[in-house]
Amino acid sequence: MRRMIRIRVNGEWRELSVAGNALLLNVLREDEGLTGTKYGCGIGECGACTVRIDGEPVLSCLTLAVAVDGCEVQTVEGLAVDGRLDPLQEAMLDTAAVQCGFCTPGMLMTARALLDETPAPSEQDVRDHMKGNLCRCTGYASIVRAVLEAANRDGGPEMAPKPPALGAPRRSRGAPRTP
């Protein structure tokens, strides 16, 4: 069985012909060329394949493409707007929360969903929300710090910039966020 579906990927409606057994993860990576979303385990355990469907963080390795017909899909490629990184992405760089980077796209999608719902999470909130995203490199501390830092920055541009954690030099990627 093949079927036409319409999904809105990172803001753009796409019409795609997909097989009945095609997984959203593979459609995104192979048909759409959006390789930011990663295949880690394929069985729901690692979170590397997390994307947002209608805003919710969902495992694309366990989602049939035909079953998201009509939905809004956001991948890590859709976080930056007009070449400006999302504050979360900036915070990840600033706190050195990326080592090999394999877990990072999934981490970002889960964390973005958290911050959209809970703009000022506690450290425990962050750890609870992100326990389905595994990282083999960082030990998580820097990732948690990045999410809390991004929440802080999301808090308002009038807030004085905090010194970067870990003494890491502030990298400037994309245009500055604050006017």
Ligand X SMILES: Cc1cc2nc3c(=O)[nH]c(=O)nc-3n(C[C@H](O)[C@H](O)[C@H](O)COP(=O)(O)OP(=O)(O)OC[C@H]3O[C@@H](n4cnc5c(N)ncnc54)[C@H](O)[C@@H]3O)c2cc1C
Question: In the range 114-153, which residues lie near ligand FES by CB under 6 A?
Answer: 135-138
Counting Cβ atoms within 10 Å, is residue 12 exposed (0-12), middle (13-18) or buried (19+)?
A: exposed
Comparing C-alpha atoms, which of 110, 69, 91, 108 is closest to residue 162? 91
Residue 58 in the binding site for another protein (CB under 8 A):
yes
By 3-state DSSP, what share of the chain in percent is helix, strand and coil, each rounded to 5? 35, 15, 45
Q: Report what 89 binds from another protein, ligand FES, ligand X, none; CB cut-off 5-8 Å by kind.
A: none
Residue-level length of the chain: 179
Question: In the range 126-165, which residues lie near another protein by CB under 8 A?
Answer: 128-132
Of these, 11, 30, 45, 170, which contacts ligand X (CB under 6 A)?
A: 45
Give the chain's radius of gyration (CA, Å). 17
Piece of 8-16, 66-74, 99-107, 161-169 that binds ligand FES (CB under 6 A): 99-107
- Which residues sit at the interface with ligand FES, rule CB under 6 A? 39-42, 44-49, 59, 61, 98-103, 135-138
